[in-house]
Structure 1
Amino acid sequence: MAEGSGSGRADGPGEAGGATDGAAGGAVEPTAVFELLADETRLSILRELAAERYSNWQWSGMSFAELRRAVGVEDAGNFTYHLEKLRGPLVAKDGEEYYLLNAGLEIVGAVESGRYSDTSEEVRGATSYECPYPDCERALEGIYEDQYFRLRCPDHHRFAATILPPTVAAAHSPDELVEIMTIETRQEVQRARAGVCPNCWGPIEATLPAEDPTMATQIEPDLPDGAVLATFDCRQCGLSFEMPTGACVVDHPAVVAFHHDHDEEIRRRPYVTLPFCGIGRADLESEDPVRVRVDVRLDGDALHLWLDGETNVAEYERE
């Protein structure tokens, strides 16, 4: 990968070859940044500069004249006023060109996703996934409203949910939304298990088993006796969530290989279609040290995994 390209979104004038002028020298209050966006001209400036950087996230900018022409402001003095307001926290000047910093890229991405301007209409429809209850033959229903996508059985309860922006719901079917939700949730779980909060990127702690699980109030009407859940708590933003222990091993190489050997693809399958991810499917075998066993079974074969108190796979064995 070339330097300054890809998902790295490098901020800096190295590729441009000049010295950055007007970059912020210290912390900026969030309220000050939000106040900057309360003007259509400034938001248009950010959008035009973002378009320059969207090509491989390159450090690419625009001259004053090019930027003013793209935004469509005839009064040079008025345009200068708004552009100078943005310099520092969101925009940097490098030589004779203006560049959008990474913070500005994140803001433009959020705006274009419709998160702040479009509540969107409700999307509701049956999916091709069946309710996991053995006595239920109903198809799971995908519901999108208030920027929230839920997967639920009409006769039972909600099995999964996550926040998705309006642009996603407008362009995809319920089945496709389930797949997107699965990808998003998997990434959040991987990040949390790596010690990084999926909300604020602060430090997050994993605990297994959860001392006082409350997931029953979120999904299940009744939590099965002896259910072993993992909990994640962020020390920075306060985010806290629980999940079945089996969800912590979905992307483990042994689990992926086990499914591959049985000609099954697991990477894009939602948790609700994986029996070992169900609530009540893990066993607490030891408290000191913590050892929680998860059994993955396919076609009469079994893979046993033991997790420690931080949701790490300490040992696994295949029958």
Structure 2
Amino acid sequence: MSPPPPSETELSDPATGNKAFQLLSDETRVAILQTLWEAHDPADETPIRFAELRERLGADDPGRLNYHLNKLADNFVRRTEDGYELMESGKRMVRMLLSGTAIDDPQVEPVAVDISCWYCGSQPEWSYREGWRYLECTNCEARCVESFPPGVISKSEFPPSGLRDRTPNEINEADRIWGAHRRASIIDGVCPECAGEMPVTSVDICGDHQPDWDEYQFCENCGSIFWMLVSHVCEGCKYRWRMPTLFYPSRHPAVVAFFYDHGIEFDLATYEQRARLLDFEEELLSEDPLRIRISVPSEDEILRLTFDEHMDVVNVDRCK
């Protein structure tokens, strides 16, 4: 019989997080996790014996090493008859350290990449600073969001580990794929940070939307070039993501089939096809209940999808 799921109180108890921080506040314990990670072979899940662990760490005091192992046991380290091994929680902790998210702050100066600005078609530049990836057009001053500097057409989180041993174009491609999968996970209601529930928490619709589409400048009334924006917040880790409603049709099979019927292998993850979003048309059918229709054109035919307040599709139809 499966164990009962943790209660809401257990999941939200801050003492759980405090305990994890306390356990890893000692450098010896962090060294133990790193050593177990280095000894770990994904193809051969063999625990490491105490004597070998002590030798790898260069620990002179076996009693002190055993004390720290006991502290880590049942949280990050599993003790077996054959020795010690990392639990999945321990592996995640080491992976976070290896990603550089917690400690590194690399910077990459702007460099041209082989894609096109989806507003003006020119070649943008890629750069990295403070844990964020920037795509900036050197030809236009598109500003789709008020918080972006002029010319920054895209900005997203990207772990420092993704920069290692890659050229700028390879980094940009890895970032594209990584971001596309995270966005898809959020649309499907699963947090990409902790795998918790990440429902739609609000759909913000500008009451007087007036962006300058000729210059690709945001609306001063809402601070965005996009009329409707959807927010998701994870119920577990509070991770928040906000994106235009125009992204949501990309997850529906009818849209993929619609483009395929017109000879297009639709993949919104590519920068070139992302420009297709600018051709989608939004309609606010009703506010209570909320109903939003997004029309997807291709040649002489239109695919229309109607979404509810949860951004679930409630109707699909095709028309000429």
Q: Deviations over 1:174-213 (max 9, x none)?
A: 4333333333333333333333333444433315742569
TM-score normalised by structure 2 residue count:
0.75
Q: For the residues of structure 2 that align with 1:225 and 1:113, how far apart are their CA atoms? A: 33
Residue ranges of structure 1 left out of the alignment (5+ in a row): 1-25
Shift of 1:53: 4.7
Q: Is the CA contact (8 Å cut-off) linking 1:226 and 1:280 kept in structure 2?
A: no
Q: How far is the alpha carbon of 1:62 from its aligned partner? A: 1.3
Task: Report the alpha carbon displacement of residue 55 of structure 1 after superposing the two structures with TM.
Answer: 0.7
Distance change in 2, residues 1:41/1:236 (3 Å): closer
> Are 2:202 and 2:232, in contact at CA under 8 Å, matched by a contact in 1?
no
What is aligned with 2:50? Answer: 64
Q: In the superposition, relative to structure 1, how do residues 295 and 81 fare at CA in structure 2: closer, same or farther (>3 Å)? A: same
Would you say 1:197 and 2:187 are equivalent positions? no
In 2, the alpha carbon distance for the partners of 1:101 and 1:228 equals 43
Deviations 1:24-79 (A, max 9, x none): xx9964334334334443223212323455515x7542111122223333443343
Q: 2:157 aligns with which of 156, 163, 166?
A: 163
Report whether the alignment pairs 1:110 with 2:106.
no
User: 1: distance between equivalents of 2:63 and 2:288?
Assistant: 70
**Which residue of structure 2 lines up, in the alignment, with residue 306 of structure 1?**
306
Q: Which amino acid aligns with 1:305?
A: L
The answer for unaligned runs of 5 or more in structure 2 is 1-12, 144-151
Corresponding residue to 1:55 among 25, 33, 42: 42
1:94 pairs with 2:80:
yes
Name the Cα RMSD after superposition.
Answer: 3.4
CA gap 1:233/1:212 in 2 versus in 1, 3 angstroms: farther
Distance 1:94 1:111, change over 3 A: same
Equivalences, count: 288
- 224-233 or 151-160: bigger deviation: 224-233
Aligned to 2:286, the other structure's residue is in SS state strand
% same residue: 29
2:167 aligned partner: 173
Cα pair distance change 1:30/1:235, threshold 3 Å? closer
Q: 1:221 aligns with which of 205, 218, 221?
A: 218
1:145 is the counterpart of 2:132: no
Cross-structure match for 1:22: none
- State the alpha-carbon separation in 2 of the partners of residues 220 and 64 from structure 1: 62
Aligned-pair CA distance for 1:306: 1.8
> What SS does structure 2 have at the residue aligned with 1:250?
helix
The TM-score with structure 1 as length reference comes to 0.75
> 2:67 is matched with which residue?
81
- Cα offset, 1:156, TM superposition: 2.1
Instruction: Label 1:220 to 1:42 Cα distance change in 2 as closer, same or farther (>3 A).
Output: farther
